[in-house]
Every structure is written in C-alpha cells, then in structure tokens.
Structure 1
Amino acid sequence: MSQLIPFPNMPAPVTPPPPVLLSVTDLKVHFPSAGGRVVRAVDGVSFELRRGTTLAVVGESGSGKTTTALAVMRLAPITEGGIRLGTTELSLVNGENLRRARSRLQMVFQDPYSSLNPRQRVGEAVRAPLDLMKIGTPAERAARVDELFHAVGLRPEQQHLFPHQFSGGQRQRINIARALATNPELVVCDEPVSALDIAIRAQILNLLARLQRELGLTYLFISHDMAVVEHICDEIAVMYLGQIVERAPRRTFFAQPLHPYSVALMSAVPTVRGGRARAAQRIRLVGDPPSPLDPPPGCRFAGRCPVAEPACGQPQQLREVQPGHWVACHKVTLQAGRPVPPLALPDAA
C-alpha cells in the first residue's frame, strides 16, 4: 500500500486541548473571628483545570492553598464564588446530591498515618468508600480492593494488616488506593509527599504520574516544594495571602517566573549549580505576611517586595502577558513582545 505524502508547507494538525474538568470562579472562603472581624483565607481565586492534567497550587504556609483545596472538596464553607466539576455546580449541591458527587472527586491528605484509622485493617479502609456509596456487590468490592492494592504496588495479602505495620510510603500508597476506589475524575493531593523521607518521595510521585497516565486522572496538587511541583505539574498557580499572583504552564514558569514573590520562592530552591555563591544571592524576604484579618488594599506582597513602589498600593489584577501566563504585578513590562520581570533570579552559573 502506498503511503500518503502531505503537500509541501501543509501545516501540522493542531491537537485541541483537553476539556475543562474543574472550574473555580472568584472563590472566597472567609471565617468569622472575634470582634466581628473576618479572616479572608481565600479571597477571589479563579482557575481552570483541564481533564488529565495536573495543576499545582504553591505558596507559603498561610497562603490559602489548602483552604482552596478543602473548598473544592466541599470540606470548607464557601462564602462566595462558584466551583464546577464538569457540568455539576459543586458549590450549589448539598445533601444526597453532594454525597453522590463525592464519588467523582477524592482527596489524598498530607499525613499518611493520621489519615488512617489505627484500629481498622487497611483493606477495610480501602473498601470503605465502596461500602458507603453502595458501589457493586460484596464480591465486586473485594475484587476492586485487590485490584487497587496491585495498582499501587502492594500485595493483596497485606489487606489484613493494620496501619502501624506499614512504612510511611506504604501508608501513603494505601491512602492513594482508597482515593481511587470510586474511580474519581479529580484527585486533590494536599502535600502528599511532605511527610515522607526524601528517598520515598520520588516513588510516590512516580506512582501518581503512572496512575495519571493509565487512568486519565486529573490532579489538583497542593505543595510548598517547588522541586516536587516541577516534577509533576502541567501548570502552576502561585498563591499569596489568599490570592493567586501568578499562573503559567510549568515550562514557562520555571524558565522565567515573573511576579517578585514567585522569583523569591524560586531563588530558595536548592541547586547543584552555583553552590555557596548562588545561596548568598538568595532573595531573602523581610518581615511576615500581613494578617488575613486586615489585608492591605493594594498588592498584598508590597510590604515585603524588594521592588515595591507607591503604585503598588493600588489593587493588582491578573493579566495575561503571554499565552497562558498570567501575573498580578504592574511592574512586569513587555519588551519586543516578551514579558520582563521586575526582579531577576540570582545567576546559577
């Protein structure tokens, strides 16, 4: 059979991006505090997550990234905004409808030990979501648990053991198996490797990546570790004091972060190049983040920003400076159509 030869200069076919699975619009999570004051834990966060991809949300402790994840799971109260999973408005469903929707999204928590009942055999823990949602017959549930243990690299006979009889990495594998029990479309991972030894982290990250390829999973990945994020994410969103200050594809972001806060985070990432000379150039932020009880009216990073100016006291909106790359900093300029950050990363050479 002859082979079809394309015409000269014929453009390559364009592969459409995967459809959006999760859409978060102007999400706000505010908690009441003493004296009638309000803690603005999440204050106007918007993003989209496409099916089969991973969005990493990063930032310091207290930035609101975990509260965002809990709100997506409907485990934190939503003050304002919308959360849509496919065609389902998660922010509006309650009761039985919410219980049914939970089979489509599951969560892997930070601490693999406290996430498990120490008095419950791990096989029962993995089967629990199937029992609660009445999925399948007892025989089908048992077969599903066997399948899940195999998928995460554990032996089926280990189902009869208790959590204390496993290592930290094995316990996190059990938590991942439990999260996958209902065949979810979205898995929210809240610092899933931060409590593990560094040698085990790569194993769990590789496991998550393999399961994503094989099962078409979509991950919302919460982390403060930029090296971990670079390994697993397709897109990254940087949060500071309840707001997203930068969002970009992984390669674009790690090639050139634009927001001064993102640059400061990246300057703290250890590198094999540069050694002590680069460490000495690390951008050290002065002071603590403002209180979420009384955030500043303009850029919330301005009080710690090395390049802040009076205009930073005005509200900063996310703007797209190149395709897919959004930043909330008016000091990011364009030169020859390319964005230029107001603060440069230390030279790693």
Structure 2
Amino acid sequence: MATPTDTAPPVLLSVTDLKVHFPRPRSGLLAKPEVVRAVDGVSFEVRRGTTLAVVGESGSGKTTTALAVMRLAPITDGSVRLGITDLSLLGDEAMRQARRRVQMIFQDPYSSLNPRQRVGEAVRAPLDLMNIGTKAERDARVDELFAAVGLRPEQQQLFPHQFSGGQRQRINIARALATNPELVVCDEPVSALDIAIRAQILNLLARLQRELGLTYLFISHDMAVVEHICDEIAVMYLGQIVERAPRKTFFARPLHPYSAALLSAVPTVSGGRTRAAQRIKLVGDPPSPINPPTGCRFAGRCPVAEPQCSQPQQLREVQPGHWVACHRVEVVAGKPVGPLQWPTAA
C-alpha cells in the first residue's frame, strides 16, 4: 500500500490476504472435492472518514468481501482488522459487541425490513439487542435518527409497506447508524431504487459522512455512482483486486484492461457516439471460481493478452497510491501507461 503521510487520516479498516472459499458437495462418491474461491487473496485499507468503493461484475466477489468484513460470511484465511481489533479472531459474543462499531446497509430496502414490525421498532432494535442506554435514551436516539435521515417522528408508527423504496432505504440507514458505528458497509445501497431517488440517497450518505465522520466501504457495479461518492476505488475480478487508485486518478486514466473496459461502458452525454463506437467489448464469460486460471484471471477475455499473462500477476504500485496487477502497464517518463486507451468524450 501507499506510504501514509503525516496529513493522511489513520487507517480504520485493514483487510489482508482475505480468502473466502466455499466447499461444494461431492458430485459422486469418488469425485474430487471442489471449492468455490469467491474471494481469493484480497488486501486493502480504508482510512478513517473516507470511502473506498469496491466495483466489478456480478460474481466478482465484491459482496462476499463485504459480508466477510461483517463476519456474515466465513473467513477461510487472512485477517480483517478494525483499528487494532482483528475481527477474524473474535468469538460470537465479542463479535456481537464489535458490531457496535461496524454496521451494514443492505441492497434491497424491501426485504431487509420485517413487514410486521413498525419501522420505529426496527431502528430501535440494535439499541435493544446491545442494551445501549435507558429506555428514554433509546427513544430519544430513534427520534434523532429519523430526523437525521429526513423522516418525520410520527412515521415511526408505520409499517414498511407504507413507505416508498427511497424512504425504506432511509430507514435502513437510520438503523445502521443507531449504535454510532465508525464503519458502515454499503452493499449496493441504491441499485434497487429508481434513478430519480438514487441521487437523494447518495447525497444523504455524503452528508452523514461529513457530519458524523463516518467511514464507508461501498460495494457497487455502477461506475457513475462510485464516481459520485468514493475517495478511492478498488476493481475486483474473479475474487481478486486488479486495480486500486484514488478516484480522480482512476477515472482520468484507468490502467488495467478490465478497468478500461468497465469505464468504456459508462453512458455519457458529451461525446456519447464517439465513446460508443470506441467501447471496449469483452468476449466470453469469466472463468469458473471453482477452477480459476493460474495466471492473470482476466487473460482469457483480455483483448491485449500475451503469453506472459499465463503467469501470476501481483499488484504493484506504479505511482503513489495507484496499484495495478498487469505486467503490460509501463511507466514512461514517470507516468504509468496502460495497454488500452479507454474512450474519452473528446
């Protein structure tokens, strides 16, 4: 990782060589056991008060990474540290207490709420489960949370079906903030919402981050959403990170061929026809996570692959804070140059 500076905020979340493997049932008595390598050696850091976005196609392992950080998916190997606490080593009760510091906003605002529970009770539930404060203090906290996310106090008595999708996600955000967490894991929090509502929820998350000093691990497949909210971005492909960089650096010039292909598909108003004509089109499907390639996992779909790509590719820092796992990225006159030039609006 990049060398921290004196002015950089301290690291809050540190994930090191994280692996999440799921064994599959044997297909026969003599069949070899198979393992799905959903996350296979992922490392990153998130500094306090910032947002790291993890992006990639469906099946890339980004949501499994988020669930492993929350200890909602089994960690096969590696470590997940929140400050000085290694979450991967905690027992059930210690992890329950640690969840005061880390909470999650789920993708679907509909299924993540109990349809038979009043929403005020849903927001209050973490306080009750962790025995935080007196009854009066919990009531006051729920009032405060409803106001913070833009809902009225009297709406606490309503049921989830009486709210719109955007309002339900506001309720989920309020519930996630109930315990005053330091880290909030956002698993595609706007993907199930109408486009008109997405900006409202993203602006709400940004405002809460400024006011409360929150740190976000933001999971998404939508590059336009990521550009709006993140400070850093990590691109995952088939269980591994292939590129990580600060937001401005990444969106100005992605280096890994997979990153360039992702960005080339983002719709734009300015220069739309030019970019559509230049779009980098990938052929085929990602390999199986049961039997991934030994070398670069993107090589089979990469338009600039060469024989050396059959060798494992390690993340390397090509400029301060910019890491990429592609041997074809070169540094020319002090600046990194990728093998593909992604289409711009110009």
TM range (shorter): over 0.9
Corresponding residue to 1:140 among 137, 142, 161: 137
Quote how far apart the aligned CAs of 1:80 are.
0.2
Quote how far apart the aligned CAs of 1:15 are.
5.7
Quote how far apart the aligned CAs of 1:273 are.
1.6
Corresponding residue to 1:73 among 70, 73, 89: 70
Paired position in structure 1 for 2:51: 54
What's the Cα RMSD here?
Answer: 0.8
Q: Secondary structure at the match of 2:88?
A: coil
Q: Secondary structure at the match of 2:328?
A: coil
Q: Partners of 1:281 and 1:269 in 2: how far apart?
A: 12
Quote how far apart the aligned CAs of 1:281 are.
1.6
Q: Secondary structure at the match of 1:141?
A: helix
Query: What aligned pairs does 1:34-53 form with structure 2 within 5 A after superposition?
Result: 34-35=25-26, 36-53=33-50
Compare 277-286 and 146-155 and name the one that shifted more: 277-286
Determine whether 1:102 maps to 2:90. Answer: no
In structure 1, give the amino acid aligned to 2:336: P
**How big is each residue's C-alpha offset from its partner over 1:304-343, in whole Å with a ceiling of 9 and x where there is no partner?**
0000000000000000000000000000001101000100
Q: Partners of 2:6 and 2:15 in 1: how far apart?
A: 25
Q: Secondary structure at the match of 1:49?
A: strand
Corresponding residue to 1:184 among 181, 185, 191: 181
Q: Secondary structure at the match of 1:257?
A: coil
Query: What aligned pairs does 1:7-18 form with structure 2 within 5 A after superposition?
Result: 16-18=7-9
Corresponding residue to 1:324 among 312, 321, 326: 321
Quote how far apart the aligned CAs of 1:348 are.
1.8
Paired position in structure 2 for 1:24: 15
In structure 1, give the amino acid aligned to 2:317: E
Compare 72-81 and 30-39 and name the one that shifted more: 30-39
Corresponding residue to 2:148 among 144, 147, 151: 151
| Runs ≥4 residues deviating over 6 A | none
Compare 33-42 and 132-141 and name the one that shifted more: 33-42
Q: Partners of 2:278 and 2:249 in 1: how far apart?
A: 23
Q: Partners of 1:335 and 1:281 in 2: how far apart?
A: 24
Unaligned runs of 5+ in 1: 1-13
**How big is each residue's C-alpha offset from its partner over 1:79-134, in whole Å with a ceiling of 9 and x where there is no partner?**
00001001111000012111100110000000001000000000000000000000
Q: Secondary structure at the match of 1:22?
A: strand
Quote how far apart the aligned CAs of 1:198 are.
0.4
Quote how far apart the aligned CAs of 1:66 are.
0.1
Q: Partners of 2:208 and 2:79 in 1: how far apart?
A: 29
Q: Secondary structure at the match of 2:20?
A: strand
Paired position in structure 1 for 2:30: none
TM-score by length of 2: 0.96
Corresponding residue to 1:294 among 291, 295, 302: 291
Paired position in structure 2 for 1:225: 222
Q: Radius of gyration: which is bigger?
A: 1
Q: Secondary structure at the match of 2:186?
A: strand
**How big is each residue's C-alpha offset from its partner over 1:240-273, in whole Å with a ceiling of 9 and x where there is no partner?**
0000000000000001000000000000000112
Q: Partners of 2:87 and 2:310 in 1: how far apart?
A: 35
Determine whether 1:117 maps to 2:121. Answer: no
Q: Secondary structure at the match of 2:300?
A: helix
Determine whether 1:281 maps to 2:278. Answer: yes
Quote how far apart the aligned CAs of 1:139 are.
0.6
Q: Secondary structure at the match of 2:19?
A: strand
Q: Secondary structure at the match of 1:264?
A: helix
Quote how far apart the aligned CAs of 1:277 are.
3.1
Determine whether 1:170 maps to 2:167. Answer: yes
Same amino acid, percent of matched pairs: 85
Q: Partners of 2:254 and 2:49 in 1: how far apart?
A: 24
Q: Secondary structure at the match of 1:60?
A: coil
